[in-house]
Amino acid sequence: MQLTLTRAGERRRYQSLPGSVYVNTPQQLPYELAWRAQAAGTIQTIQLDLDQELLQQTAAAGLPAAHVELQAGPCIEAPLLRQLGYSLAAMLQDPGGVAPLYGQTVAHMLATQLVYQHSAQPRPLPTSRGKLAPERLRQIQEYVQSALAEPIDLTQLAAIACLSPFHFCRLFKQSTGLSPHQYVVAQRMQRAQDLLQHSRLPIAHVARAVGYHHAGHFARLFQRHCGVRPTEWGKPAPGA
């Protein structure tokens, strides 16, 4: 589509291709934005709003100075921001919605990319070093096992590790090879496998026991991770 941006009497036009990113900030002067499709079809946009406090915390976690000023502008090439937006949009269209832990993890990933790659003074991402202390990792794993039926919060996991969410996400992945969300989903699928194999609970009850209140959403996740539908788990393959 074609964007027309008017600010302080000055008008500029931009060519917006699928996947283009527009970074908007509170510091910008007021403006008017108009758009026009250049081909048949519906224009679809994804708007993601991040709390300024999250950006400040992310900046403070990597540098002594907590102040951050983003570089605003339309039609920015930002593949990771685009993919994160698409991923959130896809999950929002699912009846199961966005898992809180996933949403929080994506918010921190977005904030990290904006602070380090799209600020007025871009800087390299901090190098990931070290791992979680074995005792802290064990405490987190025990907490996750005890809370699989409930929403699991990123800030709670980070608090157990006595770290900021920014540092926790990086060290957790260094320690396990998985993001916190990926790890929790893997543990939920493992618990679901055990319940399906060793109990006679209905699928909906198994779904709720591992934190999913929409059975259809659970079934799709289970098939994606385990290769078969929940109703087929533990059954011998045809001809076996």
**Is 42's pLDDT higher than 90?**
no
For residue 226, being part of any structural domain is answered with yes
Phi/psi of residue 123, each to 5°? Answer: -145, 155
| 119 or 95: which leads in pLDDT | 119
For residue 199, being part of any structural domain is answered with yes
Are the C-beta atoms of residues 72 and 27 closer than 8 Å to each other?
yes
Q: What contacts 64, CB < 8 A, 6 or more positions away?
A: none
pLDDT value at position 223?
A: 95
Task: Give the whole-angstrom CA distance, residue 127 versus residue 80.
Answer: 18
Instruction: Please compute the mean of the pLDDT values over residues 2-28 and round it to a whole number.
Output: 88
58 closest CA partner among 48, 47, 66: 66
- At residue 188 the predicted structure's pLDDT band, cuts being 50, 70 and 90, is very high
Are the C-beta atoms of residues 125 and 116 closer than 8 Å to each other?
yes
For residue 209, being part of any structural domain is answered with yes
Phi/psi of residue 75, each to 5°? Answer: 55, 45
For residue 201, being part of any structural domain is answered with yes
54 closest CA partner among 119, 98, 128, 107: 107
For residue 85, being part of any structural domain is answered with no
For residue 178, being part of any structural domain is answered with no
| 16 or 120: which leads in pLDDT | 16
Task: Give the whole-angstrom CA distance, residue 228 versus residue 29.
Answer: 54
From residue 91, give the alpha-carbon distance in Å to each of 56, 64, 99, 151. 27, 36, 9, 16
For residue 224, being part of any structural domain is answered with yes
Are the C-beta atoms of residues 83 and 199 closer than 8 Å to each other?
no
For residue 228, being part of any structural domain is answered with yes
For the domain that residue 189 is a member of, what is the CATH number? 1.10.10.60
**Is 239's pLDDT higher than 70?**
no
Total tally of structural domains belonging to the chain: 1
Residues spanned by the domain of 216: 183-232
